[in-house]
Amino acid sequence: MAPAQAGLLLQLLPSRTDSEQLIQPVKVDEGMLKKYLVFMYEKHLFSILAAAFVIAYIVSISGMPAKSIIFPKLLLYGGVPILVWNLVAATVEFIKSQRKVREEDRELDGEEKHAKTMGLDRPKLIVLGATVLYVLAIPVLGFGFSTIVYLVFLTFYLGVRHIGKIVLYVAVYYAFVYAVFVYWMKLNLPKGILF
């Protein structure tokens, strides 16, 4: 191998500074564990959820006949190492981030609040929350009533203040939904206590 190529390849190896940073022990205290959990929640919640799902999956298929789990077993053999790789990489990312954190003043309270809401601001959270409530209300109150209330609330919240416009919009839109899906496509939308 030519010296230039060898030199270039050597550059890819972790530098002494990188290695020192990794090897240098991190002071583990209660605060560190909390920071780790916040970090994982903020940046790698999907990996945590994936791990929980895989564990539940493995428990549920244990004891099943071998023929039922031919493909799942193949997936788990290939996928569990990928999951572990992700979790380890996330932990290494956390350790590296702690080196940088020590040099900066960060508002922990603000950071924690940001983490709890996954970076979503208040309007987005309210719209998401309203949508969840709407979906939960459909089988109880009925599609029609729930949809009308949802449309009125969301239109008002998103900035339309003219009551006449809201009423007209809801009426026209609901008529469209009814005409296309109920009358033409013969779709039976869920009915609850109301309509």
Partner 1 sequence: MDFFALLAQGADTLFTFTNLLLLSVGVCLGIFAGSLPGLSSSNTCAIMLPLTLGMSMEGALIFMVGIYCGAQYGGAIPAILLRTPGTTGAGATTIEGYPMSLQGKADVALGVSLLSSSLAGIIASVVCLAIIKSAANIALSFGPAEVFLLALTGILLIASLLGDSVRKGLLSGFIGLLLSTMSADPLLGKPRLNFGFLELYDEFPMIPALVGLFAIPALIDLVGKKRIAEGDIQKIGTIAQTLKGFKETIARPFNLIRSTFIGLLVGILPGAGIETASFLAYGQAKIWSKDKKTFGKGNIDGLIAAESSNNAVTAGALVPTFLLGIPGSATMAVMLASLTLHGVTPGPQVLQRFPSTVYALLLATLVASIIFIIFGFYYNRMVSQVTRMNLAYLLPATFVICVIGAYAVRYFTFDVYLLIIFGVLGVIMHRQKYPYLPLILGLVMGPIAEDNYSRAIALSNGSFKIFFASDVAKIMWAVILVVLIVPRVSGLLRKIRAKSQSRS
1-60: which residues touch partner 1 (CB under 8 A)?
8-9, 11-12, 42-47, 49-50, 53-54, 56-57, 60
96-135 footprint of partner 1 as x/- string (CB under 8 A):
----------------------xxxx-xx--xx--xx-xx
80-99: which residues touch partner 1 (CB under 8 A)?
82-83, 85-86, 89
Note whether 187 binds partner 1 by CB under 8 A. Answer: yes
Are 153 and 137 in contact, with CB atoms under 8 Å apart? no
The least CB distance from residue 81 to partner 1, in Å, is 10
Give the residue with the Cβ less far from partner 1, 3 or 78.
Answer: 78
Note whether 63 binds partner 1 by CB under 8 A. Answer: no
**CB under 8 Å to 158, separation ≥6 — which residues?**
127
Q: How far apart are CA 97 and CA 102, in angstroms?
A: 9
Are 187 and 177 in contact, with CB atoms under 8 Å apart? no
Write out the E strands in the chain: none
3-class DSSP assignment, residue 191? coil
Q: How far apart are CA 81 and CA 51, in angstroms?
A: 11
Note whether 191 binds partner 1 by CB under 8 A. Answer: no
DSSP string, 143-163: HHHHHHHHHHHHHHHTT---H
Closest CA to 46 of 112, 81, 90, 76: 90
How many residues sit in the footprint of partner 1 (CB under 8 A)? 69
* Residues near partner 1 (CB under 8 A): 8-9, 11-12, 42-47, 49-50, 53-54, 56-57, 60-61, 64-65, 67-72, 74-76, 78-79, 82-83, 85-86, 89, 118-121, 123-124, 127-128, 131-132, 134-135, 138-139, 147, 150-151, 154-155, 158-160, 169, 173, 177, 180-181, 185-190
